[in-house]
Structure 1
Amino acid sequence: MSAALTVSSKQSKLLRFLRPQTPPNLSSLLRHLSAEPDHHPPAPPPQNDSSSVVNLVVELLQTTDNDWNEDKLHQLLFPTTSPPPPPHNLLQITRLLGSTAKALKFFNWVQANSPCQDSPLLSFTLEAVFEHASREPNSHNKLLDLFKTSKSHKIPLSVNAATLLIRCFGRAQMVDESFLVYNELCPSRRLTHIRNILIDVLFRKGRVDDALHLLDEMLQPKAEFPPNSNTGHIVFSALSKRDKVGRAVDEEEIVGLVSKFAEHEVFPNSIWLTQLISRLCRSGRTDRAWDVLHGLMKLGGVMEAASCNALLTALGRAREFKRMNTLLAEMKEMDIQPNVVTFGILINHLCKFRRVDEALEVFEKMNGGESNGFLVEPDVITYNTLIDGLCKVGRQEEGLGLVERMRSQPRCMPNTVTYNCLIDGYCKASMIEAARELFDQMNKDGVPPNVVTLNTLVDGMCKHGRINGAVEFFNEMQGKGLKGNAVTYTALIRAFCNVNNIEKAMELFDEMLEAGCSPDAIVYYTLISGLSQAGKLDRASFVLSKMKEAGFSPDIVSFNVLINGFCRKNKLDEAYEMLKEMENAGIKPDGVTYNTLISHFSKTGDFSTAHRLMKKMVKEGLVPTVVTYGALIHAYCLNGNLDEAMKIFRDMSSTSKVPPNTVIYNILINSLCRKNQVDLALSLMDDMKVKGVKPNTNTFNAMFKGLQEKNWLSKAFELMDRMTEHACNPDYITMEILTEWLSAVGETAKLKSFVQGYEVSASAA
């Protein structure tokens, strides 16, 4: 007997060891999180007699199937002088059998011999049979057959048996069978963990509405089986997955679920709450995100900085700095410790909107110690954000001061980004030499420059007229192994195009291709614009074809530049080809296209075509601008047709929503004065005053010329006073007209009084 007990004991230990204790991967872990280890009624205290019976029965059942001593088996399990064995004993015995076949035979024997057919004995024995079957190949079909057998014999399922079946059927895509198992359970056994497993299966298989219906039962105020933390884990995890199957659950549904869970003191963890806050903010519902976060705070949910950071980011984008400060104060009240990201968000958004002094205050709060309730050490990103903000508002010296402060903190040494921010600031402030000194200091400190450093300096030099210096610096860096990219070449090509050095621009473009640096669309646009402005339209068209070969589609700006160039060269056929190509590319002409064509046909005297184009422009839903009207008015004036020009002006003033501007008034006033219609020109000046259009030096010069022809001194003196009132500085043309006229009539004192305190500018009027 002793040897039998030893063998049985070793077998029991071996089977317990082989039985899976922990899930093998994360997916299994998520499935197992919802199940508790055992849901049997409390087992009776272990007794030597009970353990001995289990071991004896297992030893007896290890013989061949045909050699069972059924009398002894009956005597051990169902003695006539004592009550039936505890259900746990039969569960343990069945688990220790070697196969589903043996376990099933034992179950059939128990079913045939048990004196109590409605006792838990059969349920617990069948549970162990299910366990054996679940570990065998094609387990889901075997379990389905066993489940059907249990139904036909009306054997109630134990909680653990139902758990096993629902999970196994779910893994085998047999969701309806999982539901069937759940429905077969006695309502009192549909525990929270069983529901959790089924909800998990339903979400995984895309049965979202079924999952939410089952969940709704649990979320009722007085639900018998309310949700627990595992329920929350399953639901929030499923709803947060971007690649989930089934119908999408909108933000409002999720918010409603969060609120109902919170009533049962189940809260989403920091990761899922952060995802929800971010999702609401991305869809423009920042106010809703605010309500959700504060609602959970009031209900006692544990908050972490990450969720608050997500809301702070959205508030920063919307410039709601007051609410950002409110949330930061609430974090302090609720003992939610802000982290370096929290302060980084505040500083970043304040700097982005040029509120640098407030950003500096936040920065000082980080180091404020216990007196402020915060003690967060700034990192390199925080320093760099603040330095960049200071440089963008022209406070480079303060930025340099922060660099020195960084050096005093070993973990915050200045890096490439730090120097790039400062170099960019000095370049924008036209302090190229200071930027170069910083670059040299960067190399001395052993901080490696990158392509952003190169581009910043090259672009800065180009914009401030130091193009040759930019090329030299670029070549020097190339020699040291720091290669440029499309941005570098674009800056240089644009600079040479601006000074009309097209040959050098094209040379750089060829160099770019030879260096293996793929041009981007901006490089092509820059070249097309430069070549068109220089009148080299054939080469511009060639670059356009190369652009298309490279896989880039010309934009409306490129087409407009070329059409304008062809119009200026009077190459209407080529301009028409460009228009056709635009249509083929699916690009509709815009206001600039129409204005270019209207201006061209107006200047050539083809007013009928110009007006047809204007009508077509309106038909296409485009509103004529002041440029459109100005082109027509200017052309009519040049052609000497002042009546038509004034007619368009009056139509524009009365029916158009586009009011005339200073340029249009100047065109008309100049033309009227040339035609000796000075009275009408003066009335236009009065009209400007009424409509609040400010005259400029050109307006007064045109009037002075007209008044000189009429020798209307008193009107000239009035206009001189008005010019003074408008703080409109006279230029050399003004002085030439007035000096000649007033000297001739002996009014030099008036002229001296007029120019006193003015700085005469040389306008290119």
Structure 2
Amino acid sequence: MKFLQSLLGKTRFAVRNGSLPRVSGTRFYNVPAEEYNRRNYAKNVQEYNTVLGSLNAQRRIFLLRDVYEDMMLDGVRPTRETFHALAVGSMRGSRMHDAFFFKDQMKIMGLVPDVTFYNFLISTCGKCKNSDQAVQILEEMKSMEVKPNVQTYICLLHACAAQGRIDRVQIIVRDMTAAGLGLNKFSYAGLIVAHQNKTPLTDDFDAKVIEYVGRSKNWSSVETDSANAENVMVGVTDEELYNLPTAEYVTRRGGFLNRPFTAYHTAFNAAADFKNVKLTDTLLEMLEKENKTPDIYIVMQVIRCYCHAGEIDRGLQFFEDFLALGKGNAAEIYVTLAEGAMVGYTEKGMQISIDILTRMNERNFFMNSKMGSELLIMAAGEKTGGYTNANYIWDLMRARNIYPSLAAVEAYYQGLKDRQIPQDDPRLMLVTQMYDNLRSRFRT
């Protein structure tokens, strides 16, 4: 009641002020047609769909709902393609509330959500770790007489795996088998993720991971290819749909990711997360017995596991051995080793880290803002020593016009302040200025 009274009070004030549209959210265009056309960025549903596709590609997910509201104001009726684009964006941004809003709007427009839309919805629930809602979506599909496909079940499997719900995952596997849907590499990856996220960790975790990786080599030929034309058209890969850790790397150049290794990727990632050197070594032996060479993603996970487990020398040796094979090279493996060597901030590790970064710089490898920011945050945590690594990373990013994130700048700024550097120091002044600018932009 107090909220309604407050809103009524604001409305009366707005009427007297002439600013009612700003309060009510209604927009009026009392401008000439030429001016209106200049302001309006889309005129029909095809142009709006193009705008939505562009926003999805740029990961500017927060603008999707604004675009949809503009469509409504312009009287443009959205199509099924429009809602698919909105669902993809909501999935990528982990915006479950928006995803369900667009589902309701789709029904209001007289469009029945199809299996592809529901798959995006279940995937969004998985990203938000809400398996209960994902199960409810499957029940809604059945009530709407929308037949689930193999993607639906695998999306649901991964949504339950994200919460470590092994009991639900096993039921889904049973249902898939009963429906004649074979388990493919993504299914076995989901089983590994489920055991990885199980709390507390089961005693047979290593044995289960090895078992699923082994079984994935003989995955069923029944509906093996889970991709469909709609997903390809909107640029959604299977790895992204199922929320696998390799999703951000799948579109990289050849040699970075060997897609048949999906179960191996998930297993090596889990081993690295748990600093499980024994499991990592076992998986490497399995690959060697198959006469297969690890791809760059696996190399990153092996180095990460060794370094975080305190075996920096083994991580460095594995790095050198892989480069000597000439099977591939990327900035990510340099960054992984440089970051892992800084764990514990030992004198030897910090020296290895800066040596690797120097080698990477000499080879002119591109380092984006994400990698640089993660390195800077790690280096800024050094409490003793000369702060050489953090300063080098900062100078390297500045020389290449790479802008670090607010979190990275803040960590570096606090590290400099803790060292009681004079206020007129040029480096500190520059960092302070950038920190203040970023803080005013993102924390207003």
Q: What residue number does 1:652 align with? A: 322
Q: CA contact under 8 A between 1:560 and 1:592: conserved in structure 2?
A: yes
Alignment of 1:627-646 (within 5 A): 627-646=297-316
- The residue identity in structure 2 corresponding to 1:710 is G
1:758 equivalent to 2:434? Answer yes
Contiguous gaps of at least 5 residues in structure 2: 1-37, 56-62, 225-258
Alpha-carbon spacing, 1:620–1:489, altered in 2? closer, same or farther (3 Å): same
Q: CA contact under 8 A between 1:669 and 1:684: conserved in structure 2?
A: no
Alpha-carbon spacing, 1:534–1:481, altered in 2? closer, same or farther (3 Å): same
Distance 1:673 1:759 in 2: 25
Deviations 1:262-306 (A, max 9, x none): xxxxxxxxxxxxxxxxxxxxxxxxxxxxxxxxxxxxxxxxxxxxx
1:494 equivalent to 2:170? Answer no
Q: CA contact under 8 A between 2:126 and 2:160: conserved in structure 1?
A: yes
Distance 2:265 2:90 in 1: 35
Picking from 170, 185, 190, the partner of 1:561 is 190
Alpha-carbon spacing, 1:487–1:436, altered in 2? closer, same or farther (3 Å): farther
Distance 1:678 1:480 in 2: 59
C-alpha displacement of 1:585 = 3.6
Q: CA contact under 8 A between 2:49 and 2:81: conserved in structure 1?
A: no
Distance 1:666 1:704 in 2: 13
Deviations 1:104-154 (A, max 9, x none): xxxxxxxxxxxxxxxxxxxxxxxxxxxxxxxxxxxxxxxxxxxxxxxxxxx
Q: What residue number does 1:725 align with? A: 399
Q: What residue number does 2:65 align with? A: 432
Distance 1:575 1:615 in 2: 14
Q: CA contact under 8 A between 2:416 and 2:428: conserved in structure 1?
A: no
Contiguous gaps of at least 5 residues in structure 1: 1-394, 404-418
Alignment of 1:237-636 (within 5 A): 400=43, 419=45, 421-428=46-53, 429=55, 430-436=63-69, 438=71, 451-452=80-81, 455=84, 467-468=96-97, 470-471=99-100, 474-475=103-104, 478=107, 482-569=111-198, 570=202, 571-576=205-210, 578-579=212-213, 581-583=215-217, 585-586=219-220, 590-601=260-271, 607=277, 610-636=280-306
Q: What residue number does 2:16 align with? A: none
Deviations 1:151-198 (A, max 9, x none): xxxxxxxxxxxxxxxxxxxxxxxxxxxxxxxxxxxxxxxxxxxxxxxx
Q: What residue number does 1:208 align with? A: none
C-alpha displacement of 1:740 = 1.1
C-alpha displacement of 1:517 = 1.2
Alignment of 1:131-170 (within 5 A): none
Deviations 1:529-585 (A, max 9, x none): 211122122212322322333333333222212223324544345445544653554
Given the two structures, how large is their TM-score scaled by the length of structure 1? 0.39
SS in 1 for 2:180: coil
Alpha-carbon spacing, 1:500–1:651, altered in 2? closer, same or farther (3 Å): same
Q: What residue number does 2:13 align with? A: none
Deviations 1:597-644 (A, max 9, x none): 345456667645533432431443533123322333222223322322
C-alpha displacement of 1:518 = 0.5
Given the two structures, how large is their TM-score scaled by the length of structure 2? 0.63
- What is the number of equivalent residue pairs in this alignment? 343
Picking from 727, 735, 739, the partner of 2:413 is 735
Distance 1:753 1:580 in 2: 56
Alpha-carbon spacing, 1:547–1:436, altered in 2? closer, same or farther (3 Å): farther
Higher RCO structure, 1 or 2 (CA under 8 Å, sep 6+): 2
Larger radius of gyration: 1
Alignment of 1:121-136 (within 5 A): none
Q: CA contact under 8 A between 1:422 and 1:435: conserved in structure 2?
A: no
Distance 1:536 1:596 in 2: 17
Aligned-pair identity (%)? 16
Q: CA contact under 8 A between 2:413 and 2:428: conserved in structure 1?
A: no
Q: What residue number does 1:687 align with? A: 359
Deviations 1:506-545 (A, max 9, x none): 1111111122210122222221121112212221232232
Alpha-carbon spacing, 1:722–1:747, altered in 2? closer, same or farther (3 Å): farther
